[in-house]
Structure 1
């Protein structure tokens, strides 16, 4: 179960005066947000993707520094103590977080910075970045979501049940977000994200 954890104030960042923009993409596990993000970055190389830090082990095909920065639990806790994270939380026994200065420097430089993070992290960021563009990705239905999670072949029956239970709770939070996109048809969903992202920055 994810545990939301406190972060230090970003009062000195003056995000609302920055020329760039922060965009947060979230949604339940298995909804396809990672695949949407990869396609978005391929189409729009001017976007800056902030790579998260995690204490979990890499999955097959994942690359250090591209998918995540994989570090030890003790190292992660050292970074917490130093206030290095913009947001962080614990999910399924592992820490996940976004490095503060990396994101702030890119926003200040005028970049559109995109984060793909968990729900609790998205909530934390919105507290301190009131002008963040928040996008929630929804599954067409829970049968399809279960099919996608099973199709990854990475989870036990117990883990799948936990993910689906959590997904039902996460979907209830969709109304908190600026934009909701149903990932039924991939191209349609991707176009909806592009329209929302670039129109919001015009």
Structure 2
């Protein structure tokens, strides 16, 4: 798909405040694919790299796949308010460091989060919550969601059944999000997601330069 006519315009340095874009969905609804497409559309969009206490796997690079930290280091970061969200999964801690996000915001760059509803809640409740834009991706039906999961040919029937059971819980949190998209078609969902991001970037409270600009307008003779 080409959207050249809708390519993002680069704002002048410091002209716009960056935002935090949260994408959530049940597994198989298209969240990861839409995340990749959005970053292809705008390479300046920063993907939030998580910190984790699990050991690096072969080929993984510090700061690219994850920030690898000891459990003690991770817990210290949580205690000092350096994590926007965190959770323990299968005995390892995972979380979104706050520092890189704040640095991106100051540069006028947006950060994309691929998190579940619990991570989204934590980020919205954090010190940066007022700069969050959250989008929930729904499948057109549960039958279609199961078809997509089986189409991956990656999981056993038992795993797919577990994912489907978890999907109902994920979907029950749809009303906590700013926007909800039904992913019937990836190209359409991509256009809708880009439209949301473009509109949110133009919000008055994300244009700190506007106050001075309007004052100058009002004093023109």
Report the TM-score range of the alignment, normalised by the length of the smaller protein.
Answer: 0.7 to 0.9
Contact kept? 1:20, 1:110, Cα under 8 Å: yes
1:157 maps to 157
| TM-score, normalising length: structure 2 | 0.72
Give the aligned partner of residue 12 of structure 1: none
Distance 1:182 1:19 in 2: 29
Partners in 2 of 1:149 and 1:65 — Cα distance? 30
Displacement of 1:126 = 0.7
3-state secondary structure, aligned to 1:130: helix
* Change in CA separation of 1:76 and 1:32 when aligned onto 2, cut-off 3 Å: farther
1:113 aligns with 2:96: no
1:89 maps to which of 62, 71, 87: 87
Give the corresponding residue for 2:9: none
Gaps of 5+ in 2: 1-15, 203-221
Tell me how far apart the structure 2 counterparts of residues 67 and 118 of structure 1 sit (CA, whole Å). 21
Greater radius of gyration (CA): 2
RMSD: 2.7
Can you give the 5+ residue segments of structure 1 that lack an aligned partner in the other structure? 1-17
In structure 2, what is the Cα distance between the partners aligned to 1:180 and 1:99?
26
- Summarize deviations over 1:25-83 as a string: whole Å, max 9, x none: 11111211111111111111121111224567999xx96568732747xx255313332
Q: How many residue pairs get matched? A: 182
**Residue equivalent to 2:173:** 173
TM-score norm. by structure 1 comes to 0.78
- 151-160 or 24-33, which moves further after superposition? 151-160
